[in-house]
A and B are shown apart, each in its own frame.
Chain A
Amino acid sequence: MKRGLITWDKAELPPSVFEARLARARAALAKHDLPALLVYSDVWRSNEGRHLTNYMPYWNRSLIIIPREQAPLLLCGLSPRVYPWIKSVTIFEEIRPASKLVPTLLQLCAERGWTQLGVLNLPRLPHEIHLPLIASDVEASDVQFDLTDDAEMAMRRHAAEMAREILTAEMPKGAGLTDYQFSGLLERAFRRAGAEDLILLFSTSDSAPRPARGATLGNKYSVAVALEYRGHWARVTRGWPV
Chain B
Amino acid sequence: MTERGWDSILFYGNAWRKDPFRSLVNFNFSGDHALARLSRSGEIAVTFSDPWDAEIASARLEPEFVCAFAGGASAIAGLEFMEERFVAACGTLPVSATADVEELRRVKTGEEIEYIKQACDLADRGYQHFAAVIEPGMCEFELVAEVEAFLKTNGAEDNFMLIASGGTEVVGMKPPTERKFQAGDSITTELTPQVNGYYAQICRTLVLGEPSQGQLKAFAIFSEAQKAAEDLIKPGITAADAARAQNDVFRKHGYGDYTGAKYTRVRGHCLGLYPDETPHILEDVDYVLKQDMVVIAHPNTYLPLSGYMVFGDTLLITETGNTRLNKTEKKLFTK
Contacts and interface: CB of A to CB of B under 8 A. Distances in A.
Nearest to A42: B16
A187 B155 contact: no
Given A81-B302, A127-B82, 11 more contacts: A3-B161, A5-B175, A81-B263, A82-B172, A188-B149, A192-B142, A199-B30, A201-B30, A207-B55, A207-B56, A208-B53
Contacts of A42: 16
A54 to B, nearest CB: 14
A124 B53 CA distance: 22
20 contacts: A3-B144, A3-B148, A5-B178, A7-B178, A42-B16, A43-B16, A45-B16, A58-B175, A80-B262, A126-B83, A180-B152, A180-B155, A190-B145, A199-B30, A208-B56, A209-B30, A209-B52, A210-B52, A210-B56, A212-B155
Describe A's contact surface by its main secondary structure: mixed
A126 B80 CA distance: 6
Interface string B67-97: 0000000000001111111011000000000
A15 interface: no
A44 B30 CA distance: 12
B172 A5 contact: no
A3 B145 CA distance: 9
Interface in A1-24: 1-7
A123 B84 contact: yes
Contacts of B141: 4-5, 191-192, 194
Nearest to B79: A127
B314 interface: no
B290 interface: no
Nearest to B141: A5
B278 interface: no
A204 interface: no
B52 A201 contact: yes
Interface in B146-190: 146, 148-155, 157, 159-162, 171-172, 174-178
A226 to B, nearest CB: 9
B-side interface size class: 35 or more
A137 B151 CA distance: 49
A214 B152 contact: no
Nearest to A40: B83
Nearest to A123: B85
Interface residues of A, number: 46
B51 interface: yes
A184 interface: yes
B252 to A, nearest CB: 24
Contacts of B177: 5, 7, 85
Contacts of A80: 262
B88 A58 contact: no
Contacts of A211: 28, 30, 157
Given A5-B141, A79-B265, A211-B30, A185 B80 contact: no
B52 A208 contact: yes
A171 interface: no
Contacts of A6: 175
A123 B88 contact: yes
A122 interface: yes
B153 A126 contact: no
Given A4-B144, A184-B153, A185-B153, A124 B175 contact: no
Contacts of A2: 175
